[in-house]
Amino acid sequence: MKFSIFDFLRTICTTIDKTHRSNVCALTVTEVEELQNVFALLLLGSFIGLPSPPSFLAVELLPYMQKELEILNERAQDANDKMAEMFGTLGIG
């Protein structure tokens, strides 16, 4: 394939654009994941002893909760390293 300086420059610009965009969004992405985690916790809180909504509500919504459950699981595993994740998101250190 022929090397084109324009393609090369375009790739550089796109990558810079993407990096900036993802930097801008990083905090919001974390926020959304935390919200999904909170949503799952509220709905399925009885697993860890939180007051929970009528259980049929959890049963009704459970089939659509795959992503929330994954996040819940992930959060439980990463619980010890929360500070590192926060520092990473905020770009400290």
Partner 1 sequence: MKILFFTGKGGVGKSTLAAATAWQLSKKHRVLIVSLDPAHNLGDIFGVKVRGEMRFSETLYVQEVDLKKLSQDYLKREIKVLSDSYKYLQVLNLDTYFSVLKYSPGIEEYALLTSIEKTIRAESGFEYIIFDTPPTGLTMRFLALPQVTVTWIDRLAQIRQKILEKSYTIQNIMGPQSEGETLLSYDEKDDDILGKLVSLKSNYQSLNKILQGSICSIVLVFNPDMLSLKESMRLIEGLKELHLPLRLLLHNKICLDNLETADRVEKELSKVTSAQLERIMFRPEFQSNEDSALYYIKEDLTKYF
Interface residues toward partner 1, by CB under 8 A: 18, 21-22, 24-25, 28-29, 31-32, 35-36, 38-39, 42-43, 53-57, 59-66
Residue 27: CB partners within 8 Å, gap ≥ 6?
89, 90
Minimum CB separation of residue 29 from partner 1 in Å reads 6
Nearer to partner 1, 9 or 62 (CB): 62
Beta-carbon-side half-sphere exposure of residue 18 (alpha carbons within 13 Å): 6
Q: Which of 28, 31, 38 shows the shortest CA–CA distance to 72? A: 38
Minimum CB separation of residue 23 from partner 1 in Å reads 10
Minimum CB separation of residue 90 from partner 1 in Å reads 17
Nearer to partner 1, 38 or 89 (CB): 38
SS3 4: coil
Contact 40, 68 (CB under 8 A): yes
